[in-house]
Structure 1
């Protein structure tokens, strides 16, 4: 079942720095986990290595998970890309700040990935939308409504460490945190969008 419009204006944008490790990992894993989401799932970087492929260790981790790694080229995050995205998920709070400086109006729909996962976990009012109703704005609204119920978290608990040029352990740490956060987000999306649980299983 395809839900909603597949145009970028209804899509999810992941943002990191180089757009070769963290954000492409999150992008390709979410595409894999929600193949019937019916929205664009893309990524970009605040200091992108424009045109580069996914970094080798990241590519290997994605391949092991069965995710599609083809057809990728790193790109810079620009105001238009932010403006066209219904939800922006950044790898750190600093990236969220950079996104807000590019397009201030997007601040209300831009979240650090860890913060968004915590808001999804805190909300207990997820409601399914009809097949004709776009589900992504509902997910964003529900998560935003939970802001007052979540205790402040230290940045070290939220940010995804940058593994670029780092050890295998550092890559595993980054990817494990992304996986943990995606699990919560996928559950929330599945509840609202009515996606089959098999498609959402990690």
Structure 2
């Protein structure tokens, strides 16, 4: 039933077609956070349902050593949003689209660049009680920090759509995603490490 809390909610990346930007972010995040146990998925607001990852995107992921197998584009739905602890869209407009699809989840939906800015600016990331899930706390702290920092310029936050674009457009899109993911992974990874260390200790 929509509204039930799944036992292990994760991260959902959302773009338009779900064949370029969001699968790139999904597969790179899986590669960069391999031992956290966070489910990581993607979907599209106008998905080319059933399609493979776009060829140029797939090739770039392969060159980085990321797994590109077993992918099929799918449409974002209220259920997929409900099953995610954190929803990261590739543009602010897409954030609005997803929020309208599932208004109750609005506090968990961020544009990828905005979430990276919150991670970069926040001074609240800290070790947490080992028995408490740490991803919800990171999301809650980011949501609380919204409005405490000036939003970035949309031109610096949105990730350009590389679909059918030039190599330069692909470079621009994926360089920006890499920059944003590096900040987010540092924040999530440090909290996850602290949690694991507390459990071991």
TM-score (norm 1): 0.90
Query: 1:164 and 2:167 equivalent?
Result: no
Kindly report the root-mean-square deviation, in angstroms, between the aligned alpha carbons of the 2 structures. Answer: 1.5
Unaligned runs of 5+ in 2: 1-5, 196-201
Aligned partners of 1:13 and 1:42 also within 8 Å: yes
Contact kept in structure 1, 2:128 and 2:194, CA below 8 Å: no
**Counterpart residue number, 1:128:** 127
Structure 1 residue aligned with 2:3: none
Structure 1: runs of 5+ lacking an equivalent: 1-6, 197-202
How big is the shift at 1:145?
2.4
Displacement, 1:160? 0.2
| SS of corresponding position for 1:18 | coil
Q: Matched residue of 2:62: which SS?
A: helix
Deviation string 1:77-117 (CA, Å, 9 cap, x unpaired) is 01111111110000000110110111001111100000000
User: What secondary structure does 2:87 align onto?
Assistant: strand
1:81 aligned partner: 80
| TM-fit CA distance, 1:131 | 3.8
1:60 corresponds in structure 2 to 59
**Residues 89 and 111, structure 2, Cα contact 8 Å, conserved in 1:** yes
| Contact 2:114/2:151 (<8 A) preserved | no
State the alpha-carbon separation in 1 of the partners of residues 131 and 82 from structure 2.
23
Q: Distance in 2 between matches of 1:62 and 1:45?
A: 19
Q: Quick check: 1:86–1:136 contact (8 Å CA) kept in 2?
A: yes
C-alpha distance 143-19 of structure 1, shift in aligned 2 (>3 A): same
Assess, with a 3 A threshold, how the Cα gap between structure 1 residues 18 and 134 changes in structure 2: closer, same or farther: same
Quote the residue 2:34 is aligned against.
Answer: 35
Residue 138 of structure 1: how far off its partner (Å): 1.1
Alignment match, 1:105: 104
1:133, distance to aligned residue in structure 2 (A): 2.1
Q: How has the CA–CA distance of structure 1 residues 37 and 96 changed in structure 2, closer, same or farther, with 3 Å as cutoff?
A: same
- Work out whether residues 78 and 101 of structure 2, in 8 Å CA contact, stay in contact via their aligned partners in 1: yes
CA drift of 1:195 comes to 6.8
Contact 1:91–1:113, Cα closer than 8 Å, also in 2: yes
CA distance in 1, matches of 2:126, 2:177: 25
Per-residue CA distance 1:162-186 (angstroms, 9 max, x = gap): 0000000000100000000000000
TM-score, length-normalised on structure 2?
0.91
